[in-house]
Chains A and B, each alone.
Chain A
Amino acid sequence: MIDPFPFNWFQIVKLFWMDGYGPYVWTAWGVAGAGLAIVLAHVLIDSERTRRDLDRIRRELAPNGQPEPPPKGN
């Protein structure tokens, strides 16, 4: 017969509860994770938007609609 509770749930809860310090630890790590995620999203979205703007403006200003290739690395 298959055991419907293969894990010792008490051990898992204990691992996350951390003798009462769990809520503090998880909140602190959550704050740090959220902070890093915000910075990451901000720089990546801003970077992509600016790159598209630059491409669009280069296309608009090119005499035949074909912009000259951007410098390498850009």
Chain B
Amino acid sequence: MKRLWLNVRLFWQGAVLSYIGMFHWLRPSMYFSSKVVGPIWQVMFFTFLGTYATGEDTADFYIIGNAMQLVGINGIYGVTMSIAGDRYNGTLPYLFASPANRLVMFSGRAVVHIFDGMIGVLIGLAWGVAVLGLDLSQANPAGLLLVILTVAFSTSGLGLLMGSLSLITVNVMLVNNLIYYLMLVLCGVNIPVDRLPAWVQPISSILPLTHGLQAARELVTGQALSHVLPDIGIEIALGLVYGLAGFFVFRWIEMQAKRRATLEAV
């Protein structure tokens, strides 16, 4: 019982403190710039570009796509940096030296970002309704929330994998930016997946967001939740696969770093 309580405390404190440390909450402007102001411009830019390409009646496609893709800010940048930050701030050796349960500690890094990522998508959709005239009158709100949750989960799974890989590269932001932009290109955010080159489509199908985005678009047009359950299931499975892969990479790096005495190498 005591061990369970310790793990719950570790999970919760690790989750909250890593999140607080990242956004420098003493100065909330960083949060508002990255999560509230910046995202609306991304949604607007691609919506204008998209409607310039395919006509004004396709605006909803771009608004939903780009609003959903905002989970990447938390799932990719946030989760990755919450792990990479330990390396850069010099706290990684303390974590590796502690007897803390690694799975609890590792998964805790993603949990606040999952919920904050959901908030980011909701902000994006709210901007879409208020400024760009997105019509959500046919949408199933509970179903849409569930889809947003699963996309935030799967993206954070990829973020955990990227975070682990960030422990062996000095160019963390290069990797993060690359993944974030590849999601913009490959996940059906701005171009329907079936219009991408044939060799790209299998890659799209194993990336987080692709299936969730498809589900979200269908729910907004009034489809029943049961219709999109397979897509939701795939998103959850992808999140688990990426998250577990990230955990095993993390453990492997820990062992290698201890064996080779490279724990504090930056």
A binds B: no
